[in-house]
């Protein structure tokens, strides 16, 4: 594994290391503790949850995001409270979903759904492995390594472990599924930089699978990105072509913004991979010609729809993250834009501010790999 050099990319636009560190600390404090703009809810004294403020629920996406934030910020106290909530209220103990996590629950822990969302499981596992590296394993629930391995065991072998269960990764091509029951994917779920770690830390018999999954995911990210605009759809077939779900007639929307963040972090942790810089470059070149004050939903070929972006701060943040590997003439413009972007306020702040915080850590050299 390469020796990772963590860079404050915002230095290019006048943000020194001390200021960058303050920005990260203040954003974390807002997300977890601000009475008006935060979104961490204390369900029990020992069990906290991250609130999707647009839907007033707790999701495996947000819970695992929160745990990753806490690993990065060395806050084991909050990490353990989030993990306790996840295990107590979301972890399925029986049936075809045993070993998975219910993707949406109320703030009291009551289930809104029983099925899982695979992006939650992969973030849970990665956050747990990194927690073990930073703080060490303890017993039971806090044997982070054992719990991460259990999650990944189910992700790969659910069809062997439970009656009627489906794995989260397609056995034949090693692609992550959008949901276990659907043989389609979501490009933003593809995290090859996580799978590289899983190939070192998962059950020994599955390590070759995860190494192959990392390679397959990088190939899929290129295949599913438009060759001119660099845009990826929210949902896609295994051939990379867009799939429309939930009555949305547009392709480039909320989930898809994460692709740029994922390839940037992969570049930082595991080095450059062929084709990834082109995705970031094309995306920045495309958005340089768009009105950044009125971001919309798009088709991946660049066609602009009449639907406004639900999460414009998330998109602006992702475009800033793309500057890590972009070769666009406009890459500094998007760094400057990121510096002037602030945490979102109001009802829809949860998703925007999660992605903003990840991009802030990434661009200031504070999104570290602990293994």
- Within the chain, where are the H helices? 17-33, 60-73, 76-85, 118-135, 144-161, 192-201, 207-224, 258-270, 276-288, 312-321, 331-340, 349-363
Tell me if residue 104 falls in helix, strand or coil.
strand
Nearest in space to 273 (alpha carbons), one of 157, 328, 192: 192
Paired tokens of 363: 């661009």
Do 319 and 283 touch, CB atoms closer than 8 A?
yes
Nearest in space to 354 (alpha carbons), one of 89, 81, 58, 104: 58
Paired tokens of 124: 């849970």
Do 159 and 181 touch, CB atoms closer than 8 A?
no
Question: Which of 121, 206, 255, 285 does the annotation list as catalytic?
Answer: 255
Nearest in space to 128 (alpha carbons), one of 145, 114, 103: 145
Do 176 and 190 touch, CB atoms closer than 8 A?
yes
Question: Which of 52, 57, 61, 196 does the annotation list as catalytic?
Answer: 61
Q: 190: Cβ–Cβ under 8 A, 6 or more apart, which residues?
A: 175, 176, 217, 220, 221, 259, 262
Tell me the residue length of the chain.
Answer: 371
In the 8-state DSSP scheme, what is residue 57? B
Active site residue 255: yes
Separation CA 62–CA 117 (nearest Å): 11
DSSP 191-230: -HHHHHHHHHHS-GGGHHHHHHHHHHHHHHHHHHB-TTT-
Which residues on neighbouring strands pair with residue 296, listed in sequence order? 308
Strand 104-105 versus strand 58-59 pairing type: antiparallel
Separation CA 226–CA 282 (nearest Å): 9
Residues with active-site annotation: 61, 255
């Amino acid at each position: 594994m390469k020796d990772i050099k963590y860079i404050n990319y915002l230095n290019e636009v006048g943000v020194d290391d001390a200021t960058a560190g303050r920005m990260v600390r203040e954003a974390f404090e807002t997300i977890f503790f601000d009475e008006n703009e935060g979104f961490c809810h204390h369900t029990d004294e020992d069990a906290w949850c991250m609130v999707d403020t647009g839907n007033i629920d707790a999701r495996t996406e947000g819970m695992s995001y929160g745990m990753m934030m806490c690993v990065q910020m060395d806050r084991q106290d909050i990490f353990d409270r989030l993990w306790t909530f996840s295990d107590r209220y979301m972890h399925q103990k029986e049936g075809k979903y045993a070993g998975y996590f219910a993707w949406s629950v109320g703030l009291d822990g009551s289930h809104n759904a029983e099925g899982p969302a695979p992006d939650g499981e992969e973030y849970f596992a990665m956050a747990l492995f990194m927690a073990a590296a930073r703080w060490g394993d303890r017993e039971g629930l806090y044997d982070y390594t054992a719990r991460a391995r259990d999650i990944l065991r189910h992700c790969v072998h659910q069809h062997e472990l439970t009656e009627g269960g489906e794995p989260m990764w397609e056995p034949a091509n090693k692609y992550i599924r959008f949901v276990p029951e659907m043989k389609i994917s979501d490009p933003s779920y593809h995290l090859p930089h996580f799978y590289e770690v899983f190939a070192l830390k998962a059950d020994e018999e599955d390590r070759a699978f995860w190494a192959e999954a990392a390679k397959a995911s990088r190939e899929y990210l290129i295949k599913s990105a438009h060759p001119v605009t660099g845009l990826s759809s929210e949902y896609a077939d295994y051939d990379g072509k867009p799939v429309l779900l939930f009555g949305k007639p547009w392709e480039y929307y909320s989930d898809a913004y994460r692709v740029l963040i994922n390839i940037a972090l992969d570049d930082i942790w595991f080095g450059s991979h062929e084709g990834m810089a082109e995705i970031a470059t094309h995306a920045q070149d495309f958005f340089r010609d768009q009105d950044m004050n009125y971001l919309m939903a798009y088709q991946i070929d660049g066609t602009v729809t009449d639907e406004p972006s639900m999460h414009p701060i998330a998109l602006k943040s992702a475009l800033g993250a793309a500057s890590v590997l972009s070769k666009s003439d406009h890459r500094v413009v998007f760094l400057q834009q990121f510096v002037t972007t602030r945490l979102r306020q109001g009802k829809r702040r949860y998703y925007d501010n999660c992605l903003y915080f990840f991009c802030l850590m990434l661009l200031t050299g504070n999104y570290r790999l602990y293994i």
